Amino acid sequence: MAFYTERRQIPYTFQVIEDDGVNAFATLGGFVYLNTGLLQTADNEAQLASVIAHEIAHVDRRHAVQQLQQAAIAQGILTTGGLDQSAAIALGVELALHRPNSRTHELEADEAGLALLTQAGYAPIAAVDFLQKLLDEPNATPEFLSTHPHPEARIDALNERLDPATASTGKGLNGATYRRRIGALR
């Protein structure tokens, strides 16, 4: 999917974190982290690919860099000479782990991720299907308390972009094959 981005030169690195939480995040430099809980929650490869596409879109759109700049300015540590490397790394990790992206960034990543998913040949309906699963999460945070848009709002925005005639066309929808591939995680 990274092949279809505007910033193809980024060397993406994907890491799996052993954690039951349904979470993924991207940091500076193309590092994408996926929790085992997310891998187990996805019903098929296309749903997992939709999350990966969403995270790649955050990197491609430079969302982490924008957040880093805003946080550095807010903390008063950005000087005219810039931010030194150790401070940038520490702040980048803090942002990735403890501060979710803004609602605007999430919606942008959803839209761009949907395009990446489709260009890579996956069934675009998988992005909606995975977000639908988030509605069933027992500890869902109300939208007004979250920096992420509520999954329903994200689903509505994605559905506006889907062509119902082709939404289920593409690879990755075979749940049995996916379950066999991630069987070691159980």
For residue 26, what is the enclosing H or E element? strand 24-27
Q: One of 55, 60, 111, 129 is an active-site residue; which one?
A: 55
**Active-site residue identified among 45, 108, 110, 129:** 110
55 catalytic? Reply is yes
Please state, in angstroms and rounded to a whole number, the distance separating the CA atoms of residues 30 and 77: 24
Residue 129 appears among annotated catalytic residues: no
Q: What are the catalytic residues? A: 55, 110
